[in-house]
Amino acid sequence: MVIVLALAAAAIVIATSLTAKGFGGEMVRFPRDAPEFSFRPRSSADLLSLELPMSLFGFSEHATAGALNAVGRLLAAREAEIEYLKSELGRLSARPGQNAGTGGTADHREADHQEPATRAEPGS
């Protein structure tokens, strides 16, 4: 009987030390039982109205990751659109003979809007 208890104690000590060293395996992550959280932001109003579903310990990991990925895609698309529009504005506002980088907007405003010459009044 003593030998069986000694073997059981040795097995418990060995199993505990192996688990502590990282050889015990990993916890299995089960898929969610709840339906998927779908979030497709189209504007900043969609972002303001976002309410993430709660889980037992804080926000749902899947819903939060999906929402942040959707926000990242929206911001990347907006930044690409802004850069495209800036380049188009620079290209269209450049006059012939000027570089597109300078824009030429201030120069042509001054040339187009010259003040009219003042006339001498009849009495002077």
Domain layout of the chain by residue ranges: 37-95
Write down the pTM of the prediction.
0.46
Is the pLDDT reported for residue 109 higher than 50? no
Taking residues 9-26, report their average pLDDT. 87
Q: Tokens 């802004």 identify what position?
A: 82
DSSP assigned state of 63: H
Structure token pair of residue 78:
């907006």
Mean pLDDT is lowest, of 27-36, 38-47, 106-115, for 106-115
For residue 67, what pLDDT is reported? 86
Q: What is the pLDDT of residues 43-99, one digit of tens each?
A: 878 878 888 777 777 777 778 888 888 888 999 999 999 999 999 999 999 866 665
Closest residue by Cα to residue 71 from 49, 86, 55: 49
Amino acid at 81: E
